[in-house]
């Protein structure tokens, strides 16, 4: 694949395609400039209206930014003073501040859109607009040919699963116990579902291998069930070990690369009874398990991931309480996050030492899920602060640890943990990315309005909801790949998929996310593989059997598998690219009419085209 830089116009400066500090577009190549005519990004066109002189506009912009800067800081100070004094209480203080900003928004938006928008220099306006909006990326998909895809020749194409979700017979781990719990009189799992036999993959490995061959994939990501291999502390089940030997041998014999995950949300009950990763000393138990399975399979398996989605596991288990152990303790959550990061470092160092001793060419990495937290109301500094805090907790504190060696987990009134390990910067051979969507942050919606529909979180106008509480956002996939590029590591997309029960959006989802990944590769991201989540419909953790992620539909009564129509585009992409054909035929992509609900439009008439002013941007922590 030719990654040489295209020709650049004479007026373009030779600067990075993307400013890594703010992830905003800056001095782009000609083909990447979000032009107002081609709609490559959400930059509103210059419309009719009053035209001011450039001098006037420049001074107005400066005054606006100065005024807005000090207004935010003054109101933040007043808010936290009121909070500290506890005279009004937390919610009362936030309510007053939010009302002030909502009132100010009507005036500032009117001035901004009426007097500052129709200026005489579109290029200056474009840069200013993106600086204020914090650089959202929204592409005009009606003008993008998603058939034009290109990937490296040795690209890994695969699907992902996890042991508890598909194997069946997992009755000795933290999830099997959690599924039997009642929370405030209600089942811990939606609809009272229990995993049971799941997809019965444990007894149908040969059948599911045939499904992979039908798709044409050359890799398969799966996890080893710790509770089956070590059902009691220090006691190893040889039958379970032999089962995974046979499974791995089967994949290798059919030219499918086994991609093994060591921890995918499940732990044996004996480990849970010792408080699991809440205690630093328990890291040794996990290390012992990893060493055991590595000595068993290390000669056969080259690709390893240690821990899947630290932040998802911790946030759902120790903040929201919807994963085991079902706690709501932010301070404890911070400690578990650190212990899991330390566990990854310990496992990486031990396994790499074993790989050198045995001469096994192992590649070991962490799987990081990225959900961007974008501001719903760009003018509200409280939304910006909440977005920053969530991004820090969910994304930055973990990435910064492996980028710099410094772990800093800070949440006001809850946690302030500092830790340093210089070895962390060299404890990944690659980074795994799980990406699905982004969240739109609103203080008002979160603390006062609540969520009108528990299945629908806040979103930008006209974004299409999936069966999960979030939306389709392929542009965020591109953003996530560019973010991980700063680690200077090869990237493997270890999960990406859509829950789509009626199969109305799966083709569109796959086509657009593939385009975003191809675009990132073209722009310099070292992406070496893609694993779709998931091969089969499965037990989706706290949501039970409701969400349908599978390329293959599963009848859980008969265990019959059937390829979904929406999955055929994935099969076509894989087969064509492995055959060296880098352009899909037009008939390969038939989106049809989507029946999926959309986010409410902010305009008064939902049937009118949504104005670009309504598309808000991502929040990024400023460089200190």
Residues with a known catalytic role:
495
DSSP state of 279: S
**Within 13 Å, how many C-alpha atoms sit on residue 399's CB side?**
22
Residues facing 495 on adjacent strands: 434
Contacts of 348 (CB under 8 A, 6+ apart): 306, 364, 427, 428
b/e string for 98-108 if b means 16 or more Cβ within 10 A? Answer: bebbeeeeeeb
Contacts of 511 (CB under 8 A, 6+ apart): 146, 147, 569, 589, 591
Q: Residue 408 belongs to what H/E stretch?
A: strand 406-411
CB 551 within 8 A of CB 563: yes
Cα angle 352, 353, 358; round to 5: 95
Q: Residue 123 belongs to what H/E stretch?
A: helix 122-133
Contacts of 357 (CB under 8 A, 6+ apart): none
Distance in angstroms (rounded) separating the CA atoms of residues 17 and 33: 10
What would the two tokens of residue 402 be? Answer: 């492996």
Nearest Cα residue to 390 out of 440, 436, 318, 317: 440
């Amino acid at each position: 694949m030719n990654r040489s830089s295209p020709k650049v116009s004479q007026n373009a400066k030779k600067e990075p395609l993307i400013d890594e500090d703010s992830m905003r577009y800056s001095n782009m190549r000609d083909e990447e400039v979000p032009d107002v005519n081609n709609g490559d990004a959400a930059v509103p066109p210059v419309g009719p209206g009053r035209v001011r002189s450039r001098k006037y506009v420049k001074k107005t912009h400066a005054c606006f930014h100065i005024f807005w800067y000090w207004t935010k800081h003054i109101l933040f100070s007043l808010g936290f003073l009121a909070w500290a004094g506890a005279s009004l209480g937390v919610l009362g203080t936030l309510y007053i501040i939010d009302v002030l900003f909502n009132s100010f928004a009507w005036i500032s938006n009117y001035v901004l859109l009426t007097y500052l928008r129709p200026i005489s220099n579109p290029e200056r306006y474009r840069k200013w607009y993106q600086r204020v909006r914090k650089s959202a990326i929204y592409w005009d998909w009606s003008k993008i040919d998603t058939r034009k895809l290109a990937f490296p020749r040795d690209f890994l194409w695969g699907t992902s699963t996890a042991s508890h979700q598909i194997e069946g017979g997992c009755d000795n781990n933290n999830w099997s116990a959690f599924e039997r719990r009642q929370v405030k009189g209600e089942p811990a799992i939606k609809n009272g579902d229990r995993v049971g036999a799941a997809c019965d993959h444990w007894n149908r490995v040969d059948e599911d291998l045939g499904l992979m061959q039908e798709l044409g994939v050359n890799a398969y990501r799966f996890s080893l069930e710790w509770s089956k291999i070590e059902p009691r502390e220090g006691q190893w089940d040889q039958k379970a070990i032999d089962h995974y030997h046979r499974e791995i041998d089967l994949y290798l014999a059919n030219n499918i690369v086994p991609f093994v995950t060591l921890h995918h949300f499940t732990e044996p009950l004996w480990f849970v009874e010792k408080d699991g990763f809440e205690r630093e000393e328990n890291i040794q138990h996990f290390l012992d398990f990893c060493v055991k399975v590595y000595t068993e399979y290390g000669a056969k398996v080259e690709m390893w991931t240690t821990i899947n989605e630290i932040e998802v596991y911790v946030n759902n288990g120790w903040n929201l309480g919807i994963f085991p152990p079902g706690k709501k303790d932010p301070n404890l959550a911070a400690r578990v996050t650190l212990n899991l990061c330390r566990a990854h470092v310990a496992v990486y160092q031990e396994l790499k030492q074993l790989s050198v001793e045995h001469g096994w060419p192992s590649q070991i990495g962490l799987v990081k899920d990225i959900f961007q937290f974008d501001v719903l109301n760009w003018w509200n500094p409280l939304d910006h602060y909440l977005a920053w805090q969530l991004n820090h907790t969910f994304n930055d504190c973990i990435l910064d640890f492996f980028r710099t060696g410094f772990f800093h987990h800070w949440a006001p009134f809850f946690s302030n943990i500092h830790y340093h390990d210089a070895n962390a910067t060299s404890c990944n051979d690659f980074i795994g990315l799980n990406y699905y969507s982004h969240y739109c942050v609103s203080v008002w919606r979160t603390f006062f309005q609540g969520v009108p529909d528990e299945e629908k979180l806040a979103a930008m106008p006209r974004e299409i909801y999936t069966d999960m509480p979030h939306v389709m956002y392929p542009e965020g996939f591109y953003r996530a790949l560019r973010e991980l590029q700063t680690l200077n590591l090869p990237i493997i997309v270890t999960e990406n998929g859509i829950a789509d029960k009626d199969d109305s959006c799966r083709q569109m989802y796959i086509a657009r996310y593939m385009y975003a990944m191809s675009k990132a590769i073209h722009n310099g991201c070292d992406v070496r593989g893609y694993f779709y989540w998931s091969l089969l419909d499965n037990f989706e953790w706290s949501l039970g059997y409701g969400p349908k992620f599978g390329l293959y539909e599963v009848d859980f009564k008969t265990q019959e598998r059937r390829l979904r129509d929406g999955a055929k585009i994935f099969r076509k992409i894989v087969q064509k690219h492995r055959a060296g054909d880098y352009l899909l035929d037009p008939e390969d992509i038939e989106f049809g009419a989507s029946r999926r609900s959309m986010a409410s439009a902010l305009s008064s008439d939902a049937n009118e085209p949504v104005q670009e002013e309504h598309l808000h941007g991502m929040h990024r922590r400023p460089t200190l």
